[in-house]
Amino acid sequence: MFTPDESDALDVFVAVIDFERSEPGPAVRDLVRLSDAWAGRVELFEAFLAGYGRSLTATEEARLVIDAALDSVSGIAYGVAHRDPELIERGRRTLARLRVEHRAALSPTGDAT
């Protein structure tokens, strides 16, 4: 979708809809797969947010973590079933990253404290 503004070429709205995997849900869900691209690169995440126009709310940040974990497990299962090693690796990489980022909230056995 594209809406040009004749008065200022810099003030243009551009949006992309991925109909293949589209479904109703929170906007932050769309960021799950993108988050792998900026993992470990704070400047990329900040640049994304600058373009997005705002920071994520605390609720959106929590939802992003939950959706990333669910997407990882789903991706690993799908990747194994369909022999897609790239999808399996992305899922494992995301789970490992989430575990490191949220380790303080876990006990030595992995249970919430």
CB 70: neighbour CB atoms within 10 A? 12
pLDDT at 64: 93
CA 110 to the chain's CA centroid: 23
∠ at Cα 13 (7, 18), nearest 5°? 155
7 within a domain of the structure (yes/no): no
**CA separation for the pair 31, 44 (Å, rounded):** 13
18 within a domain of the structure (yes/no): no
16 within a domain of the structure (yes/no): no
Q: Which amino acid is at 50?
A: A
pLDDT at 112: 55
Question: Of the candidates 36, 34, 38, which has an alpha carbon nearest to the alpha carbon of residue 46?
Answer: 38
pLDDT at 43: 94
Tokens of 1: 């979708």
1 within a domain of the structure (yes/no): no
Per-position pLDDT tens, the chain of length 113: 656 666 656 666 677 777 776 778 888 888 888 888 888 899 999 999 999 899 999 999 999 999 999 999 999 999 999 999 999 999 999 999 999 888 776 555 555 55
pLDDT at 111: 58
17 within a domain of the structure (yes/no): no
**Residue 65: domain span:** 26-105
Q: How is residue 2 annotated by DSSP? A: E
